[in-house]
């Protein structure tokens, strides 16, 4: 029988925790962050994407902790909209390469500012949001300039649990991780 959990096993550097402690909204790109970046095209021309359940559960945990997940993506598709609806993600902007104004609109609607934002992206269109956010994150396989701009580069690749790593960091930094974990270990 495994030992009972008494505290979270995750640990992050103090400077990351300080950057993340006031975050109230977390922006996520889709292709290359919430998916592996691959596009699967069916014979009928339909685009299919693969989402990881670890990332989905992380977005749900953020919401339970009072942190708003938001999606800003250059693409739009019915499968993406279905997935976000299933996860309860209410703030999303689809089909835009100019992500900064979209993020500013979401921040304004939530009464937040950049010092309360985290962002995760993997390519150049994400840089304007990453550079303004209090906490900038990139998946392990993000483009080099994006990894360089990030305060935190995940161990996981995009679409393979990278978004969950950011969610866990935010939950630890805001002091909500242990209580949420306790709900599952009782």
Inform me whether the pLDDT recorded for 130 exceeds 90. Answer: yes
Helices and strands, counts by H and E, the chain = 8, 8
**Cα–Cα distance for residue pair 29/26, rounded to 1 Å:** 10
**97 Cβ partners below 8 Å, 6+ apart?**
74, 125
**Cα–Cα distance for residue pair 181/15, rounded to 1 Å:** 23
- The pTM (predicted TM-score) of the whole model is 0.94
State mean pLDDT over 172-178.
Answer: 95
Burial zone of 17 (CB within 10 Å; 0-12 exposed, 13-18 middle, 19+ buried): middle
For 31-41, write each residue's pLDDT tens digit: 999 999 988 88
Q: How confident is the model at residue 77 (pLDDT cuts 50, 70, 90)?
A: confident
State mean pLDDT over 140-156.
Answer: 98
Tokens 């949420």 -> residue: 180
Q: Residue 8 to residues 2, 14, 182: CA-CA distances in angstroms? A: 15, 16, 9
Q: For position 53, what pLDDT does the model report?
A: 96
For 1-34, write each residue's pLDDT tens digit: 555 555 668 899 999 999 999 999 999 999 999 9
């Amino acid at each position: 029988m495994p030992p009972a959990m008494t505290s979270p096993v995750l640990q992050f550097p103090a400077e990351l925790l300080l950057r993340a402690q006031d975050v109230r909204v977390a922006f996520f790109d889709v292709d290359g962050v919430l998916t592996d970046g691959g596009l699967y095209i069916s014979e009928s021309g339909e685009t299919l994407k693969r989402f990881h359940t670890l990332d989905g559960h992380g977005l749900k945990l953020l919401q339970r902790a009072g942190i708003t997940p938001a999606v800003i993506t250059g693409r739009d598709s019915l499968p993406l909209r279905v997935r976000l609806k299933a996860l309860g993600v209410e703030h999303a902007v689809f089909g835009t390469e100019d992500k900064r104004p979209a993020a500013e609109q979401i921040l304004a609607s939530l009464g937040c500012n950049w010092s309360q934002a985290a962002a995760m992206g993997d390519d150049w269109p994400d840089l304007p949001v990453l550079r303004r956010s209090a906490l900038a994150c990139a998946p392990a396989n993000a483009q080099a300039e994006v990894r360089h701009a990030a305060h935190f580069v995940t161990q996981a690749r995009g679409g393979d649990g990278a978004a969950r790593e950011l969610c866990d960091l935010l939950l630890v930094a805001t002091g909500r991780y242990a209580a949420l974990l306790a709900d599952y270990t009782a």
